[in-house]
Chains A and B, each alone.
Chain A
């Protein structure tokens, strides 16, 4: 231990700029690896989650990005006509979000209400940590709801939440039927690596009656996320025309296969480019780390040599180098963990319910998985650097090393 401390204090830190340089390079390599790994894990999770949408006769609406839409001209009477038609002719699923309710909680978080109808609820496999799934029978008096894990302490199963409903603007009583799993999330259909977290959300069931009482916001929002079930191309096109003629809004309806194709064509392509760039950056970072190591050896060769002459052995030197780089990698890894954690905490500072996560340091499963990947790559990189260093040191004739 004393030789390790001596090496760190009296040899490595004497060239602190090299240590700092190495630390920055390793941090850069770690950050790139982490970002790419987490993005891939998140994409995989999103893909798994949305596989359920890959069904015959299922079409998902999407506001046509190529058409200029005039939302100001839409009236609630028009949108209601669309919902009346939907109700009588189609099987449709609504799972819409973006509505903020004023529900007191210790974290003072803005609570997000997600409105879901029975078809969407049946489509999704919503997992609970406590309580029971909701039913859609009687939604008129006290509505049964599911709440995020972040609200569970204040609103346990069976408790009643009173709020002004953000879409009907009426006082509403919600009965907590179940608690969602910690860090439950919903992935974006078009960007599978993007997620909304439900820790401070409420799943509120809706039916035809509720839609009738709702504001225009819900009507338009729900059309954006509308899913048609057991429909034909003809029915879909008919609805598309109806919405356009009634509200003036132009929607496209795609199957999940088509959405996947879009994802693969655009997003996945981008992701592959990012992954390639990450790999290239990682190789450059590793190259820089080796270059830095070579400079270190050149500058410290006299020190190493003198130590070898007075009793340091190569196995001991290897052990010291492993411990030293272990410390450097640990610092970099800790900085990365802190960085990711601060990033997660920022959602809490912003009181942003959609991105607020729960867990140690607010890190969630995919963060830890990506950190483990970073750790494994660090180990490989560390072994490579130390063995490379040892090879270089061993190649240098000792007495010559001292003299240069």
Chain B
């Protein structure tokens, strides 16, 4: 992880105003540069500072920042354009509407690779490894993703422990506006309740959309 990514992750975990986030980002980036100027390597700074979430927690506690609200049963839509494109396609004309293609016939996606990547995403959620979700995401998704919010909303579902993947469906969405995506709908049974994940991947197999209910 480079310093910009680290600092971005720190501020994503903070429930702070944009102005406060900007101030913190500037100061942390400056401190990294100063430490490197003083002879430390970026790895040494990273080791001294600890994980981004810890830094964010320390900042939050010392700045008396409120914790992010959790909404029980709230449906989370963190998309990087896929669902928006689909909605626009339906409302506009048939010509602009995304075409749905079976992955077996896809020229851009391998059905098995998509399934394995979807499994990886679900395993990360099962392990509460939200940083892994961030790492699996494409750049647009990373900008929109708040791991702190993802964590709170996942925990608010109280799904329980993973039991099995009960149903899996995938297809390629060929959008004239924004390109091709592999979309998976996965019904996962947990000890307390089932959760349906809608997971989208771009042609680089990076997470481009994530939705759960």
Question: A and B: partners?
Answer: no
**Interface residue ranges, B against A (CB under 8 Å):** none
Listed in ascending order, the chain A residues whose CB lies under 8 Å from chain B are none
